[in-house]
Amino acid sequence: MTRFFVLMVMVLAVQAIYAQELPSGTQQQLENLAELTENETVDDILLQELESYKKRPLNLNEAEADELHVFPFLSALQIQNFLAYRKSLGGFIDIYELQSIPGWDISTIRKMQPFITIRKPVTFSASIKPRLKGGAHFLLLRSSRILENSDDYDTSRSAHYLGNPNYLLLRYQYKYNNLLQYGFTAENDAGEQFFKGAQSKGFDFYSAHLFTRNVGIFKAIALGDFSVNLGQGLVQWQSISFMKGAEAASIKKQAPVLKHYTSAGEFYFNRGVGLTIQKWNTEATLFGSVRKLDANIVKDSISGSEAVSSFISSGMHRSSSEIMDKASVEQHSIGGNLSWKVRSFHIGFNAVAHNFSSPVEKRDDPYNLFALKGSSAMNMSTDYSFTYRNFHFFGEAAADENFYKAILSGLLASLHSKVDLSVLHRHYEKDYVTVYGKAFSESTMPTNESGLYLGIRLRPTVNLTINAYSDVYKFAWLKYRVDAPSTGRDYMIQVTYQPNKQMELYTRYRNERKYINNTAAETELNEVIPKLRQQWRVHMSCVLASQLTWQNRMDVVWYDKGGNKEEEGFLFFTGLNYKPLKKLSANGRILFFETSGFYSRIYAYENDVSYSFTTPFYNGNGLRYYVNLNYDVLKHLSVWLKIARTSYQNNLSIDASDSGTNAMAKTEIRLQAALQF
């Protein structure tokens, strides 16, 4: 009866497109990434950069490829066509001139509109001194906590959290027209000590960076914390990395080789020095890094020697055992890139080497037979890209220190003004190992996988878009919870209808089939059986008034294991975005979910305070609602308040990160203040 009522509301209601939200395609990519990594709060640098461009829009008459790579809804072919058009015809006069660029349809321009402007180019000084005065300062303070008591803080328990439930984030940045940026980030997770015990210096995590561009022959100089992105991610990729989604063109990774690091994530970055030198058509990048990583350390009972059984990327240091794993292994890294570019042709050579203070020896499980081992790791690769008419080719071929290989090749093609095609083939040997690789794959690491991805985008009319993909793959060796070589396939189709700027409707169906161990079978060796997961989504949106928008979505999931129906899930939400005054805005949501198990869980992108987002998953039976308030107290001072509550109707735990919460509800309060001057 509840589902029937929700379905009727869905039919009668419409959802709004809110100008301050991420495009729906990007939200879906973030949901897919959260599901793949099982991490609700992935890298927030993307949102920081987009928010920055909302405040100070990017001038398209000055924009370079590296700046356009920030926008995940722009394909490599669209960027190439943009740069070629501007070079051929000169600067833009009006934003609607973008419609003349091949591949730039109305939908793309609408997505870009909040972040761009058109004005005459401005010449900036190449010296450092003028950049130190004319920039903008940004200071942010964020705090949140769960109100309900948790057993995790019970001091009578041996593994209790040593801190309090408060989360704290402090961030400062100075920025001068993308030419100079410096700042720091300090974070303390809930449960971590603050100015006492293991955290006697205050925050648990500190990060600082200085990044400047275009100083003489130096295209980029990075000091402190920075990320390195090489090729297509077979060797190293430390920025956000999208995989499959409705935006098929996002299969190609795009980012500068060196990039400033401002996230609160504590794993995917370097700490040291990075330099990029540019001379004519040639670029050379060299970087060095020394930092300590969290890891589980095991000691040999006979020899007493220590080894790393696994690296820990969560950054949590709440209990005594987590504190013991903190900064327990030192990593030395060095690497570089040499690239050559002529017009639309690019070729690059990449190399990275890592050394660890303790050797890596993972658990003696069969699926770990070919995993990273020893005190060092090295990878080399060649990557390429070129455009011929409406065809953009790209790829990378890599090898590790034992010459085990990984190869990726892709194509983005505009076959017609209404037809775009995406193709990607990958072959990663089961023996290939990498420390920071994040190439296109079904798994989290580019190893032990071969597959072929085909994506298509059709625009039969101005208002109608059809996105679809097919991905078939196989694993030559065992995987976690899959004790045999296996295969899989993933199909998706999405139909989007946009009758005008105010309304968007789409429906999406996804069908994924993999293999998993049959834990119910009473045999000595685990039998692998197929698991099938289907998901259907209906999403509708429209602007009701200049001050009011309305949101609705429905998701249904079916999960089968071994041919037997095991689980099913259902989710529906409705929300409002309201901006009654110039200084005040608010948004809220009511969400109902009902799932019969973990495998039928459903992820949903959620609005948060500015410069932050989350993609929580919903498991069990319950209701979630939240309210976000934003008020501009002064011209340069803004404050935010978010109140969210999840109520459960059964005994399933609140979620994986709050297993100690006894209450049948979880209430979270988040406060944020931002000062710009």
Closest residue by Cα to residue 178 from 214, 217, 127, 222: 214
- The SS3 call for residue 543 is strand
**Residue 41: its pLDDT value, please?**
53
Res 7: pLDDT: 40
Over residues 507-516, mean pLDDT: 96
Whether 168 and 205 have beta carbons less than 8 Å apart is answered as no
User: Residue 37 CB: number of other CB atoms within 10 A?
Assistant: 14
Average pLDDT over residues 178-198: 94
Q: State the Cα–Cα distance between residues 184 and 48, nearest whole angstrom.
A: 14
Question: Does residue 522 carry a pLDDT above 70?
Answer: no
Give the integer Cα–Cα distance in Å for 93 and 365. Answer: 62
The answer on pLDDT for 664 being more than 90 is: no
Record the tokens describing residue 307, joined without a space: 């080894």
Q: Residue 535 — very low, low, confident or very high, per pLDDT cuts 50/70/90?
A: very high
Report the candidate in 170, 162, 243, 244 with the shortest Cα–Cα distance to residue 203.
Answer: 170
Q: Where are the alpha helices (DSSP H) in 314-396?
A: 320-325
Token pair 């948004």: residue: 587
Cβ atoms of 624 and 667 closer than 8 Å: no
Residues 260-288 as b or e (16 or more Cβ within 10 Å = b) = bbbbbbbebbbbbebbbebeeeebbbebe
How many of the other CB atoms lie within 10 Å of CB of 15? 25
Element (H, E) at 48: helix 45-55
* pLDDT over 80 at 587, yes or no: yes
Q: Which pLDDT does position 626 carry in this prediction?
A: 97
Provide the pLDDT confidence category of residue 11 given band limits of 50, 70 and 90.
very low
Q: What is the pLDDT of residues 418-453, one digit of tens each?
A: 999 999 999 999 999 999 999 999 998 999 999 999
Residue 452 DSSP one-character state? E
Q: Where are the beta strands (DSSP E) in 403-527?
A: 405-416, 419-428, 449-461, 464-475, 486-500, 503-517
Strand 116-117 to 58-59 pairing = parallel
Mean pLDDT of the chain: 89
What average pLDDT does range 177-188 have in this prediction? 94
- Rounded to an integer, what distance in angstroms lies between the CA atom of residue 560 and that of residue 516? 11
Check: CB of residue 226 under 8 Å from CB of residue 209: yes
Task: Identify whether the C-beta of residue 15 lies closer than 8 Å to the C-beta of residue 607.
Answer: no
pLDDT bin (cut points 50, 70, 90) of residue 585 is very high
Q: Give the burial class of 512: count Cβ atoms within 10 A of its Cβ; 0-12 exposed, 13-18 middle, 19 or more buried.
A: middle
Residue 542: pLDDT band by 50, 70, 90 thresholds? confident
Q: Is the pLDDT of residue 536 over 80?
A: yes
DSSP 8-state code for residue 68: H
Structure tokens at 131: 């950049």
Distance CA 76, CA 668 (A): 40
Q: How far apart are CA 600 and CA 570, in angstroms?
A: 9
What is the distance between the alpha carbons of residues 209 and 154, in angstroms, rounded to a whole number?
A: 38
Lowest mean pLDDT among 133-137, 308-312, 508-512: 133-137
Instruction: Give the pLDDT confidence of 296-329 residue by residue, as tens digits.
Output: 999 887 877 899 999 999 999 999 999 999 999 9
Question: Which is more confidently placed, 629 or 34?
Answer: 629
DSSP 319: S
The structure tokens listed for 627 are 């309210």
**CA separation for the pair 596, 613 (Å, rounded):** 27
Do 139 and 192 touch, CB atoms closer than 8 A?
no
* Residue 283: pLDDT over 90: yes
**Which of 28-42, 364-378, 509-523 is predicted most confidently?**
364-378
d(CA 346, CA 560): 45
Q: How far apart are CA 105 and CA 103, in angstroms?
A: 6
Average pLDDT on 38-55 reads: 75
Residue 409: its pLDDT value, please? 98
Do residues 623 and 592 touch, judged by C-beta distance below 8 A?
yes
Q: What is the average per-residue pLDDT within 108-113?
A: 87
Q: Which distant-in-sequence residues (6+ apart) come within 8 Å of 1 by Cβ?
A: none
Q: Is 487 helix (H, G, I), strand (E, B) or coil?
A: strand
- Both structure tokens of 630: 């934003």
- Residue 545 phi/psi, 5-degree rounding, is -160, 170
What is the per-residue pLDDT for 24? 66
CB neighbour burial string for 403-427, b if at least 16 within 10 angstroms, e if fewer: ebebbbbbbbbbeeeeebbbbbbbb
What is the amino acid identity at position 386? Answer: F
Q: Give me the pLDDT at residue 10, please.
A: 38
Length of the chain: 677
Please say whether the beta carbons of 239 and 256 come within 8 A: no
Whether the per-residue pLDDT at 124 is higher than 80: the answer is: no
Per-residue confidence band for 18, with pLDDT thresholds at 50, 70 and 90: very low
526: DSSP letter: P
Between the ranges 32-41, 497-506, 627-636, where is the mean pLDDT highest?
627-636
Please report the pLDDT score of residue 380 as a whole number.
98
Does residue 270 carry a pLDDT above 70?
A: yes
Best-predicted range by mean pLDDT (63-67, 211-215, 487-491): 487-491
Token readout for 470 is 């097919």
Instruction: Determine the Cα–Cα distance for residues 496 and 356; give it in Å rounded to an integer.
Output: 49
**CB atoms < 10 A from the CB of 377, how many?**
22
Q: How confident is the model at residue 25, as a pLDDT?
A: 64
- Where is average pLDDT lowest: 417-421, 567-571, 578-582? 578-582
Residue 247 pLDDT > 70: yes
More confident site: 128 or 10: 128
Identify which has the larger pLDDT, 427 or 73: 427
Least confident of 69-83, 183-197, 628-642: 69-83
Contact between 4 and 11 under an 8 Å Cβ cutoff? The reply is no
Pick the more confident residue, 12 or 30. Answer: 30
In this prediction, residue 14 carries a pLDDT of 31
Sign of the torsion angle spanned by Cα atoms 363, 192, 637, 27? positive
Chain centre distance of CA 59: 25
Average pLDDT over every residue of 211-219? 92
Q: What integer pLDDT is reported at residue 666 of this predicted model?
A: 93
Percent of residues, the chain, with pLDDT higher than 70: 91
Percent of the chain at pLDDT exceeding 90: 64
* Residue 490 to residue 492: CA distance in whole angstroms: 7
Average pLDDT rounded to a whole number, residues 47-74: 88
- Give dist(CA 432, CA 372) in Å, integer: 9
Task: Compare 36 and 299 and report the one with higher pLDDT.
Answer: 299
